[in-house]
Structure 1
Amino acid sequence: MVHSTNMMVIYVDHHNQVLSWQGEAADVFGISPEPFATVGMHVMELPWERVVEAAPNLNNTLTVMHTPSGRTLLLSIVKLPRQVMTLDYLLVISRLDMIQMEPNEEDRLQLERNALIRSPKMKKIIDIIHKIANVDSTVLLLGESGVGKTMLARMIHQVSSRSGRPFVAVNCGALPDSLIEAELFGYEAGTFTGGKAEGKRGLLETAEGGTIFLDEIAELPYHVQSKLLEVLQENTFRKVGSVEVKKANIRIVAATNKDLKQLVAQKSFREDLYYRLHVVPLTIPPLRERREEIVPMAQLFVDTFNRRYGRQFFLSQQVQESLLAHEWPGNVRELENMVERMVVTYCEDTEELWKETIGTCDSDFPLELPGKQLPSLKEAKKQLEKELILRAYDLYENTYRAAEALQVDQSTIAKKLKEYRREDASGANKRSKKR
């Protein structure tokens, strides 16, 4: 990634006109800082026309170019695999001398998802994220499960001056209470029986200079909350089993789908920590309140899974209408899972089943099989078990809490999820070979 003040992203439609752009480009690229000065402009009017001229025919190409002022820039042309609404490709331009590391696949997908933001509420959130890019204020992301809190946490990191340093994501609900303190803060040699003889550095040290994202912050044990408070107040911490005070040069972004005020009233969450986290609160609206993003986002997921599984699935008008009619209680995560299911089970006769699936995806029972065929009791139990485990994992977002809800061992949930992914991938490969 690159520093945001040295990078510009231009979104271009299939008519080669600029839809929008992000980045502080006036000083670096000689373009007016006012967005309306560039939006609607044809790419040929930009100062790098010879490079951009071939853009629609290029695919993820990196090109070195020079500006009239003598700056050396790197132009990355990202041709989207399938036209998303009117968006056709991205131009990512950065100063070659300021690049710290090459953009990866995750960063590319992040750019594509950013381009799909349509709703006024989400645009306001993105504006705030850019306004706080160069300060280290703590951000608290609020919203239902699956709304995209992790994506926004990553965006906060990417547009900040810390973007060239680590981004470390921690799911506080996924770690056992007995281990989370040692994982976050590390431990000294000889602290634990069976621990590493030389001790271990914690995730706070791993994120040094960068951003640490504490997801499900409400699940953080009470005694660990006081240690996190010290990090926020003093920028210091101590490893488990140590008296040595270490400096913490990190930015903290936290997220939860719980009502922290209520937890404070119940004495299960520290009030002082709540106020330290609540500096810049951002409430992400659920997907049902930003329906203009459902189809573009679904198309992006279709493109992603088509590449992954070697398929050629597309969203028909009828399926798009079904997607828009659904309430999406599981938000973006549910949409992503639903699209993956559609892609991996693709065949010409399944569109009606998909429409039923979208409409009844929160049903207690699997879809009725074609031709009124009944599965064997063994197969029905297996299918019901799969539905329960997938739903529990979707609801609780980690294997430990899903196992607790279903009253089974965590290892059972982890093993079954791995088995389901292997079955889905295997089935997709077989269907691909038949086509």
Structure 2
Amino acid sequence: MKASEIASKNFLIHSGKTQLSELLGCNQLEGKDFILIIDEVEIKKVLSINTILRELLLGHENISLSEISGEAFVCINSGKFALDILNLDANLVVVIEDNKQPVGIINNLKTIKRFQAVSSTYIKDICHKLYIYDKIHECFEEEIFLSDDNGNIVKINPEAERVMGIRASDVVGKHVSELVNNKILSSSTTVEVLKQKKKVNMLQTVRDGSIRLSTGVPIYGEDNKIHYVLCTSKDVTELVELRKNVEANEITLEQINKKLDLLQEEVFAQINFISKSKEMDYIKQTIRKVVNMDLTVLILGETGVGKEVVAKTIHYLSDRKNSNFVKINCGLIPRNLLDSELFGYESGAFTGANKGGKIGKIEIAHNGTLFLDEIGEMPYDLQIKLLDVLQDNHIVRVGGIERIKVDARIIAATNRDLQQMVKEGTFRKDLYYRLNIIPINVPPLRERLEDLPLLVEYFLKKINTRYHMNKKLNPLVLNEFIKYDWPGNVRELEHLLERMVIMSDSDNVCPKHFEDIININAPMSGKVICTDIIPYKLAKRELEKQLVIKAYEMYKSTYKAAKALEIDQSTVVKILQKHK
């Protein structure tokens, strides 16, 4: 690199006779660093612009350039390399052509260059940051006030000007209290921050009546003293409106929930979920919580408490209500048939199997609900197959190999103590825990006598409709009902009422009919005693139903009930299915 390539061209050429006053016009000095004094072709002096300005400031406009002391300099040919300058013992170098005509000046080149590069980058960075800060300050949607440690306003943004109806030029330098005194603001957050020396949130009212939420933050210096206070404020009208909307939505949601509750109560009524007791209200609440959660539900309770009603309620309140509700009583179906009833079978799976096979209850319940009543009666070997269904939602039909995907919600019910059965090894522990995710314990009727009047009213209306009667219940009968223990629970109540209505000769069913049927104080003699005349076929059907139901409730097994009654198991199953 040649010396001429790095030399500055910012110089003027004058003769020594030139007066200083002649340099004042036409901006001759602008952008120049030096003046070269040349007489004929020889460079006599080099004057720095700073020297010229100093002389002008001293009032020496009328002196000539030759009278001013110049800078020490050396000349170097423009053909020399820039590196040659390093060997020169001079701070100022004039680069000249062969004809001694100056083409440039070099003054402390390396130092100046390095400083200029660093300082230029630094200044650009600062300017860029200041530009960004100003833009943020201008574009910020909240009002910004910056005050010093005395509370004097240093800066406000355009949004603050617009909202407060003031100009920055009118308030910068003034104390924030003047805004309060002039009714521009109702109070000053800055004053509170300086007083409390911590972040402050407060509401302010602007003179236009709007309410602002103002936040003031102290800015500490390295001396741990407050140097500035930054306050931002925002119109909370939107928040107030939002709060009103939320409250309105809450009211709407409450109305929707009330309407939903009414619709659900209608479903409860349609499924004969008749109750008013706290115990049953708790069960209703549990049902509402779990209806649309595809979790298994285990319904516990004595025989006749209404476990199937609870299961149906869960189904018909859920999103599965438009699909099948499939019930299978694990205690009614012989063990050798329960497998094929549940899982279905392929053609030729066993002797007597239908051609083409048959789908099982689980497949029928696809997208719906499968209600496994008397789950405690399920054979141990089938329990593991049921567990597989619960875990991976697939079945394999009896005699088949194809895995069939099913999506059925499982609800199980039992009147037995499954925990005790687990201890005894007659019920699988893993299946018990899989079923017992949501347990619902339905209390016996004797523990919720509040429900008795409603149930009596419901069943009486149902029985009258069935037999085309219009019989009424003497109020004293209800007193007798309340005293009774109801070992058969709601089912016993329905059957007992039915017998009372049928046996009553008058339209008014009185306590005597109840006493005749129950015969509380007389032990069973083993003989059937007729207390009234009813149609033979009706009596035979009623006796058959009572005997089989009582035997099944006592032995919890169709096989044992059949043995006690000395009839075939299939007959027991048939009668139970007929009267279920």
- TM-score for both structures, normalised by structure 1: 0.66
Residue 379 of structure 2 corresponds to residue 221 of structure 1: yes
The residue that corresponds to 2:419 in the other structure is 261
SS at match of 1:201: coil
1:258 Cα offset (Å): 0.6
Residue 361 of structure 2 corresponds to residue 203 of structure 1: yes
Matching residue within 508, 524, 531 for 1:364: 524
Contact kept, 8 Å, 1:186 with 1:240, in 2: the verdict is yes
Residue 433 of structure 2 corresponds to residue 292 of structure 1: no
1:133 Cα offset (Å): 1.2
Pair 162,213 (structure 1): closer, same or farther in 2 beyond 3 Å:
same
Matching residue within 339, 351, 359 for 2:510: 351
The residue that corresponds to 2:566 in the other structure is 407
Residue 389 of structure 2 corresponds to residue 166 of structure 1: no
Contact kept, 8 Å, 1:191 with 1:241, in 2: the verdict is yes
1:111 Cα offset (Å): 2.5
* Residue identity matched to 1:311: M
Gaps of 5+ in 2: 1-248, 534-538
* Residue identity matched to 1:410: Q
Could you give the per-residue CA deviations for residues 29-72 of structure 1, whole angstroms, max 9, x where no partner exists? 9871464x999xxxxxxxxxxxxxxxxxxxxxxxxxxxxxxxxx
* Residue identity matched to 1:287: L
Pair 296,134 (structure 1): closer, same or farther in 2 beyond 3 Å:
same
Describe how 1:231-310 pairs up with structure 2 within 5 A. 231-310=389-468
* Residue identity matched to 2:519: T
1:246 Cα offset (Å): 1.0
The residue that corresponds to 1:177 in the other structure is 335
Q: Distance in 2 between matches of 1:183 and 1:199?
A: 11
Tell which deviates more after alignment, 292-301 or 399-408: 399-408
The residue that corresponds to 2:180 in the other structure is none
The residue that corresponds to 2:193 in the other structure is none
The residue that corresponds to 1:425 in the other structure is none
Q: Distance in 1 between matches of 2:574 and 2:362?
A: 29
SS at match of 2:328: strand
* Residue identity matched to 1:223: D
The residue that corresponds to 1:32 in the other structure is 255
Q: Distance in 2 between matches of 1:246 and 1:329?
A: 43
Could you give the per-residue CA deviations for residues 355-379 of structure 1, whole angstroms, max 9, x where no partner exists? 31465369525897669x9xxxxxx
| Higher relative contact order, chain-length normalized (CA < 8 Å, sep 6+) | 1
Pair 344,289 (structure 1): closer, same or farther in 2 beyond 3 Å:
same
For the aligned residues, what is the CA RMSD? 3.5
Larger radius of gyration: 2
Pair 260,382 (structure 1): closer, same or farther in 2 beyond 3 Å:
closer
Q: Distance in 1 between matches of 2:305 and 2:504?
A: 26
1:316 Cα offset (Å): 1.2
Q: Distance in 2 between matches of 1:385 and 1:213?
A: 27
The residue that corresponds to 1:427 in the other structure is none
Pair 312,367 (structure 1): closer, same or farther in 2 beyond 3 Å:
farther
Could you give the per-residue CA deviations for residues 238-259 of structure 1, whole angstroms, max 9, x where no partner exists? 1111111111100000000111
1:405 Cα offset (Å): 3.0
Could you give the per-residue CA deviations for residues 312-341 of structure 1, whole angstroms, max 9, x where no partner exists? 111111111111111101000100100111
* Residue identity matched to 1:405: A
The residue that corresponds to 1:320 in the other structure is 478
Pair 126,199 (structure 1): closer, same or farther in 2 beyond 3 Å:
same
Contact kept, 8 Å, 2:555 with 2:561, in 1: the verdict is yes
Tell which deviates more after alignment, 145-154 or 342-351: 342-351
* Residue identity matched to 1:111: Q
Q: Distance in 2 between matches of 1:339 and 1:183?
A: 35
1:192 Cα offset (Å): 1.2
* Residue identity matched to 1:151: V
Contact kept, 8 Å, 1:169 with 1:215, in 2: the verdict is yes
1:159 Cα offset (Å): 0.8
Pair 357,138 (structure 1): closer, same or farther in 2 beyond 3 Å:
farther
Matching residue within 528, 550, 554 for 1:391: 550
* Residue identity matched to 2:568: D
Matching residue within 164, 188, 202 for 2:346: 188
Q: Distance in 2 between matches of 1:136 and 1:381?
A: 45
What's the % identity of the aligned pairs?
42
Matching residue within 267, 274, 299 for 1:141: 299
Pair 360,109 (structure 1): closer, same or farther in 2 beyond 3 Å:
farther
Gaps of 5+ in 1: 1-25, 40-90, 94-106, 374-379, 422-435
* Residue identity matched to 1:278: N
1:237 Cα offset (Å): 1.3
* Residue identity matched to 2:255: S
Contact kept, 8 Å, 1:211 with 1:253, in 2: the verdict is yes
Pair 415,278 (structure 1): closer, same or farther in 2 beyond 3 Å:
closer
Q: Distance in 2 between matches of 1:369 and 1:259?
A: 38
Contact kept, 8 Å, 1:235 with 1:249, in 2: the verdict is yes
Q: Distance in 2 between matches of 1:163 and 1:415?
A: 29
Describe how 1:69-108 pairs up with structure 2 within 5 A. none
The residue that corresponds to 2:285 in the other structure is 127
Contact kept, 8 Å, 1:148 with 1:332, in 2: the verdict is yes
* Residue identity matched to 1:325: K
* Residue identity matched to 1:364: M
Q: Distance in 1 between matches of 2:477 and 2:543?
A: 25
Contact kept, 8 Å, 1:139 with 1:278, in 2: the verdict is yes
